[in-house]
Structure 1
């Protein structure tokens, strides 16, 4: 049998313990004072910390935007709310919040930002044919969004080579040389200076240029030539870029009375040149990309539109990816990318400085509209918008582009920076460069046609349009069912701040094209997002 034996301490009497304690106090008369002083000091420090936390809580607020958290703190020295930003997009960026209001963005609920597409969110189909067409539009949007590359600029070029064809100059640079003869009433040459960025605009700042809306081709070309993943061996390439300035080819014939055969000559020669390359034949052009600086319809000639090209209707162009400023919503490899704006940053600091400026901007006008009427187009809503705007001068400012008011970019940008909402009705086609000018100004675009943006820019704008815009159905406007001014006056201050915060902090960097020497670390611009997504598309489809 196992026996456990333990050694016990003798029990000490209470009397003995009391005597020892009294003796200890006599030997150390300062012990009580020392303990009491330590306790008081601890309570004082705890009180100070508590008061500091109360003060911080009362003068701060939190903005949650996407996966970025901003804690905004007011300061008597700074006079404004300032935000400390933490997140994967903008580490360490300090963003000042407008002193126009102390209300800041609230987190948007999951229900509000649901990415589940509603097929008839914008258009109610009139018949089965239209219903089928809308379903196709939404199907292709989902496919394009699946190609979007989500990440940062810390990319690896392993297996991601980009090959740039060295085309004969007649397919690109020589076309720019015809700039003086493209339009009967204007010389285009100044727009194509500085790698297509145009002449600098001193009134707006160092990184601002008078960039034409059709300058995408030389801008993209200048950037891809310096891409870190560029390779010079075709066998190392995953993506092949064809620097054909097809938009310039269309422009030079647009106002000339010549046969359609002549208008297609250069495109036919290009495809013949490509057809002689084994790199083209290997995958039938599926790993090739063209960047075209005009809308897709200018390359899809029909019988009654003889002034345009048939380039995208040619059989050889069925497989390559086409990047355009406006896509055909029923062509899945027609991909829309942003119109070039006037702002072309070079560094992260250029972007963050501009963000700081426009988020603090005091906006004196509720609404603005920069545009002109379309009296020859009975479907246009512009005249109605102009009437409503000019009838409410205290809420809406109108800049008449018909009389040349929009020829100076500084006037347009000043208007947008001074406005809460910018009206963006369709023009000659659904899309507008002005949408992107307003967004980079922090002005919330008001759209009337889903084909203006929602069915277009799947890689650069979110699926939920409510994050950055207001939608008003143009049919309701035509039927006098809605007054735009009253509608926008009903949007709360907090809702406006929500959208502007999202536009400035989340969207803006990805809507601008950096200049030809741009180097970004924290941000991805429109070019970076496009190229990264192209490489992702090729990886998932070939």
Structure 2
């Protein structure tokens, strides 16, 4: 849906007349029920029914009094933020995309289970519709992506250093007890992991902004004349901008938002910004979408993606907001950064020859403070029929330990952590370990350009409610999948998906394959060309 950057500014306030109250009442009722469902689906919630009343108590670590820096992979960094007790703080833009919730709710909050289920179905249908729209921008596989850059010019803004380079210089202050600077070496790929080989680096999951910037500067279609460009890349390190305030006390929201607002003002001084109302501009943000969508009563993150001016641009994130069509999920950076086709082929062969000694494994930690988390149940089941790597003891801090576990496992459990997505999903996939998902938002509604619509080709899905109510034993369920089925899934992962899930190093050159960066750029250009045809 095309919406101008000034869409909200152009709206006028309309007084509700007495005879309009019925329609207004109906609209507000629909809006309230969608907000409740949105929280129910997306967050870990405690839902209590008493009579015909429902009370939704949000207990998501992303919105509650605990938030983990790593969004699911580093559970040792708790960050206190205010508790959210009501739904009034949530800002819903779903109606901008044509969401039409047919169920109604009165102002007292009365509705029944059937109403909730029906509304959930509507919400999921909207998510499916938006993800299909994003899939429609994928360049067909048979396209020759290396022939020419004609009509594919990419312009990289030379931003003032405060928006990127200066943030890198603050790396030693971002995490007081941890040297974050070491992750920014080698073009943000991190330090070399000698035990795994020459193309393996200790890459932090929040380094994507720097990696992407370094790669795009060397893209063959880069142009230096704005008039020759089809795509405009804005190298703002918004994730690092957020990260530098995480552990500082008494920092106001105005201060946290200041750099993002400065960036908008700077872009508004550039003529390309207005040409297509920002639709041909792209941002790469190396944290989850929610970190850029701060709620009114929270002190967590910034409001960058809630700004009117940020509606039209394309935002590439490691976790997208599923009801925003211009939020597009792209893979978390893994530890593997090949340079040539041969590097990829060598690794593929090693994966296929790997001895899978364990049926199932889980690298993670329990969430004892979250009553909705299924991790403790999975750990209990896994310990009786698989292998558990306890991240709460620091074992997951060593990449070679994690990769070796995944290399010897048939299936890797991927339950939601502090948010639905996990870097571990991509670490397991590039190790040939079949991911087992418990929430569709962990992958299925996140990565339309890098993971296929046919989810059964590369993953297993077990509804988290089946685990919570103990109607399904995960290990027993996985044992029923035949060796032939596992082999077919693994071959598909290794030969079809893996090349497009890894980010090549800064000097990478591929002839046969497209890596995650190349796939993203090609689909971005396709998206922009589609807009220009309208």
Report the TM-score, using the length of structure 1 for normalisation.
Answer: 0.76
1:399 is aligned to 2:392: no
Shift of residue 125, structure 1, vs aligned partner:
8.4
How far apart are the structure 2 equivalents of 1:305 and 1:287? 31
Q: Given the alignment, which residue of 121, 128, 136 partners 1:138? A: 128
Shift of residue 127, structure 1, vs aligned partner:
3.5
How far apart are the structure 1 equivalents of 2:274 and 2:145? 32
Q: Given the alignment, which residue of 518, 524, 527 partners 2:514? A: 524
Residue of structure 2 equivalent to 1:236: 228
Q: How does 1:107-186 map to 2 (within 5 A)?
A: 126-150=116-140, 151-186=143-178
Residue of structure 2 equivalent to 1:375: 368
How far apart are the structure 1 equivalents of 2:118 and 2:490? 39
Q: Given the alignment, which residue of 481, 486, 493 partners 1:503? A: 493
How far apart are the structure 2 equivalents of 1:239 and 1:182? 32
Shift of residue 176, structure 1, vs aligned partner:
1.1
Q: How does 1:138-287 map to 2 (within 5 A)?
A: 138-150=128-140, 151-257=143-249, 258-287=251-280
Residue of structure 2 equivalent to 1:293: 286
Q: In the alignment, is the contact (CA less than 8 A) between 1:300 and 1:312 conserved in 2?
A: yes
Segments of structure 2 that go 5 or more residues without pairing to the other structure are 1-113
Deviations 1:371-407 (A, max 9, x none): 00011111111010011111x1xx3011000000101
Higher Cα radius of gyration: 1
Q: In the alignment, is the contact (CA less than 8 A) between 1:201 and 1:209 conserved in 2?
A: yes
Secondary structure at the residue paired with 2:402?
helix
Q: In the alignment, is the contact (CA less than 8 A) between 2:330 and 2:447 conserved in 1?
A: yes
CA shift in 2, pair 1:315/1:234, >3 Å: same
Q: How does 1:314-353 map to 2 (within 5 A)?
A: 314-353=307-346
**Structure 1 segments (4+ residues) deviating >6 Å:** none
Shift of residue 523, structure 1, vs aligned partner:
0.1
Q: Given the alignment, which residue of 466, 472, 475 partners 2:465? A: 475
Residue of structure 1 equivalent to 2:504: 514
Q: In the alignment, is the contact (CA less than 8 A) between 1:152 and 1:523 conserved in 2?
A: no
Segments of structure 1 that go 5 or more residues without pairing to the other structure are 1-123
Secondary structure at the residue paired with 1:354?
helix
How far apart are the structure 2 equivalents of 1:419 and 1:128? 39
CA shift in 2, pair 1:256/1:188, >3 Å: same
How far apart are the structure 2 equivalents of 1:446 and 1:132? 25
Residue of structure 2 equivalent to 1:452: 442
Secondary structure at the residue paired with 1:195?
helix
Deviations 1:498-529 (A, max 9, x none): 10000000000000000111100000000000
My pick for the range that moved more, 486-495 or 296-305, is: 296-305
RMSD between aligned residues: 1.1
How far apart are the structure 2 equivalents of 1:207 and 1:448? 32
Q: In the alignment, is the contact (CA less than 8 A) between 2:314 and 2:328 conserved in 1?
A: yes
How far apart are the structure 2 equivalents of 1:291 and 1:518? 20
CA shift in 2, pair 1:214/1:348, >3 Å: same
Deviations 1:99-152 (A, max 9, x none): xxxxxxxxxxxxxxxxxxxxxxxxx98334323211210110110000011234
Residue of structure 1 equivalent to 2:299: 306
How far apart are the structure 1 equivalents of 2:431 and 2:492? 13
Q: Given the alignment, which residue of 349, 366, 372 partners 2:359? A: 366
How far apart are the structure 1 equivalents of 2:486 and 2:297? 44
How far apart are the structure 1 equivalents of 2:309 and 2:135? 25
Q: In the alignment, is the contact (CA less than 8 A) between 2:235 and 2:283 conserved in 1?
A: yes
Q: In the alignment, is the contact (CA less than 8 A) between 1:153 and 1:520 conserved in 2?
A: no
How far apart are the structure 2 equivalents of 1:353 and 1:228? 26
Shift of residue 304, structure 1, vs aligned partner:
3.6
My pick for the range that moved more, 229-238 or 276-285, is: 276-285
How far apart are the structure 2 equivalents of 1:383 and 1:401? 13
1:488 is aligned to 2:478: yes
How far apart are the structure 1 equivalents of 2:174 and 2:291? 15
Residue of structure 1 equivalent to 2:411: 421
Secondary structure at the residue paired with 2:491?
helix
Deviations 1:61-101 (A, max 9, x none): xxxxxxxxxxxxxxxxxxxxxxxxxxxxxxxxxxxxxxxxx
Report the TM-score, using the length of structure 2 for normalisation.
Answer: 0.77
Secondary structure at the residue paired with 1:340?
coil
Residue of structure 2 equivalent to 1:462: 452
How far apart are the structure 2 equivalents of 1:449 and 1:524? 28
How far apart are the structure 1 equivalents of 2:345 and 2:297? 48
Residue of structure 1 equivalent to 2:68: none
Residue of structure 1 equivalent to 2:60: none
1:438 is aligned to 2:428: yes
Q: In the alignment, is the contact (CA less than 8 A) between 2:145 and 2:522 conserved in 1?
A: no
How far apart are the structure 2 equivalents of 1:155 and 1:341? 28
Count of aligned residue pairs for this structure pair: 416
